[in-house]
Amino acid sequence: MSDPVTVAALLRPLLGRRLLAATEARHWFDERPVTGISGLLHFWLHFEGMPAIMAHGCGELLMLTEEEPYPSYDMQEHGQTVVGPVHPTDLLGEVAGQRLVDVGLIQGHSTIPTVGGVLLHFERTELLIATLADEWVCQPGPIPDQLRQYLSFIGWLSSPALTTEGQ
């Protein structure tokens, strides 16, 4: 799901809920993780009382679905995909335990209205998650100046102007 109406409907019930944990699928090679954002394949956010939300980047589209983490798997000579909890000091790990206050939808670099990213506003942290050219952007928000030509802010889910009826 990457159209704004569908993404808003999926994420709006998460507002006010606490993020319990985050799970990642990370590329490992030679029995070691590929560190940094380049090794991140997919991730899941686990909010209290809700199904896991899986994030998958595809070009300039951020695909979000309710889906449980898949198991780790071997890629033979190309390494492994290891699925497990994010490291507590990773950005996704640092927001665990915080309530989600609001979500900003971000238009990706596309000619059709799609969601290329989200700005997650937690109690103490804003986190920008987007995908550009099949690469993750995961950093403290808001959108940095150097990415504004590719990512544009649509609006906050809590805003009366951003409703599923008004899209």
- The residue assigned the tokens 């070009």 is 59
Residue 78: the pLDDT is: 94
Average pLDDT over every residue of 92-121: 90
% of the chain beyond a pLDDT of 70: 93
pTM, 2 dp:
0.91
State the number of CA atoms in the 13 A half-sphere of 94 facing the CB. 12
Give me the pLDDT at residue 113, please: 74
pLDDT(92) > 60: yes
Rounded average pLDDT over 64-81: 96
- CB–CB of 128/105 below 8 Å? no
Q: Could you report the per-residue pLDDT of 21-30, keeping only the tens digit for each?
A: 999 999 999 9
Confidence (pLDDT) at 39: 92
Residue 1's pLDDT is: 54
On whether the CB atoms of residues 142 and 154 are closer than 8 A, the answer is: no
